[in-house]
Amino acid sequence: MIETPPSKRFRQADIAARAGVSVSTVSRVLANEPGISDDVRRQILKVAGELGYPLKAAPRSAPGTLALIASHGVTGGLSVFYEGIVEGLRSEAAAKGMPFDIRLVREAKATPDAVREHMESIGARGLFLVGIDPSEVLSAWLSESRTPVILVNGTDPELRFDGVSPSNFFGAYAATRRLIDAGHRRILHLTGSHRQTIRERIRGFEAAVASAGGEARVIHLPFATNASIEAHEATLAAIAEDAGFTAAFCMNDFVAVGVLEAVTEAGRRIPEDFAIVGFDDLPCAEMANPRLATMRVDRVALGREAVAMMQFRFRNPDAPARQVSHAVIPIPGGTLEEGTHDL
C-alpha cells in the first residue's frame, strides 16, 4: 500500500510571507487584538483561510447605541440637568465597551423617520431617549421594530419601554413633607412641562399636602422664555392675590430661584415668613442667597444605570419592561428651617 504524504501544516510565518506583513501582525490579527486596519485584517484572514489555518471565532462586537437628548426648549442647547446624565452615559458605555454616540434634538423632531435616520447613520442598534417622551407614533414604530429603548429621566406609563428616572412622586412627596413638618399648611407648587416625570411631581406634592389637611395651589408656568423670570412674576401675582401662602415647592431649582427673588422683593423674610424647597440640586441652588433647600438627583448615576439596562435588554429582548427609580436626597438650605415649628 502506498501511503499518502501528510499535508503540510502552515505556520503564521507562512501567512505573513504570503500576505506581505510581519509575523507579529499576523499574530495580533489571529488573536483578535485591536489596532490593525480593516484592510490588513481582511487580507490576513483571507490568506489564513486559503491555507487552511485554524481560526478562532472572532468575538462579536458590542451592539452600537445612540442617545437622543432633548435640547433646551428656549436656547436649543444642552440643559444643565442633562450634563451629568451625559457624563454617566459616556463613562459607563466606555467602561463596558459599548459603542456610543449622541445627538441633540428637539423633542418635536423625534419622529420615526428622523430617529431611524440617526440610528442608521452610525449603525446603532439600541436607543437612549434622554428627556424625551416618545409620541404615540414613535412608540408604535419602536415597538414594531423591536428597537431596544431605554427612557433616561423618563417613564412610559404603559411600560412598553425600560426607563430610569429619579423617584419623582416620592421625591416630591418628601420635599413637600419637609415644608409641612416645618409648620406650613398653605403651599404653592410652581411647575410646567408636559412630561410624565413632572406630572408625577405634581401628584407627589398634592398627596403630601392632602395627607396633612393643608391647601395646595398648583401654578403652571408656560416656559416660553426664562423659567426663573416666569416663576418670579407668577409668585408676585400669587402672593398679592392671597397672602396666606407661606411656602412653595418648585419643580426645579431654576424655578425656585425665581420664587426666592419674588418673595424677597415682596418684603417677606426667608425662611421665617416664607419657605422654599427646590428639586434637582443644580449649581444655581448652591449659588442662591440664601442657599436653596432642595432634593439632590444623582444624574451621573442615572446615565450609568441606563447603560446597564441597555446591556440587559440586548441579552433579554423579550423580558418585561422595567422602570427603575433612584432615590433623591434632601439637601438643607437657608430657604427652610426644618423641624422648628409646632405642628
Instruction: Give the contacts of 33 (CB within 8 A, at least 6 positions apart).
Output: none
CA distance 210 to 73: 32
H or E segment at 315?
helix 299-315
pLDDT band at 36 (very low <50, low <70, confident <90, very high): confident
Residue 75 has pLDDT above 70, yes or no: no
Rounded average pLDDT over 197-206: 97
pLDDT digits 0-9 by tens, 97-154: 899 999 999 998 999 999 999 999 999 999 999 999 999 999 999 999 999 999 999 9
Residue 54 has pLDDT above 90, yes or no: no
CA distance 94 to 128: 15
**The pLDDT of residue 50:** 79
pLDDT digits 0-9 by tens, 306-320: 999 999 999 999 999
3-class SS of residue 32: coil
Query: Prior bond to 271 cis, omega within 30?
Result: yes
Residue 168 has pLDDT above 80, yes or no: yes
**The pLDDT of residue 4:** 38
Mean of pLDDT over the chain: 90
Phi, psi (deg, nearest 5) at residue 183: 100, 5
**The pLDDT of residue 89:** 95
**The pLDDT of residue 52:** 78
Cell readout for 78 is 444642552
Bigger pLDDT: 60 vs 246: 246
pLDDT band at 26 (very low <50, low <70, confident <90, very high): confident
| pTM of structure | 0.80
Cell readout for 305 is 444605570
Helices 168-181 and 196-211: crossing angle in degrees, nearest 10, is: 30
**The pLDDT of residue 48:** 85
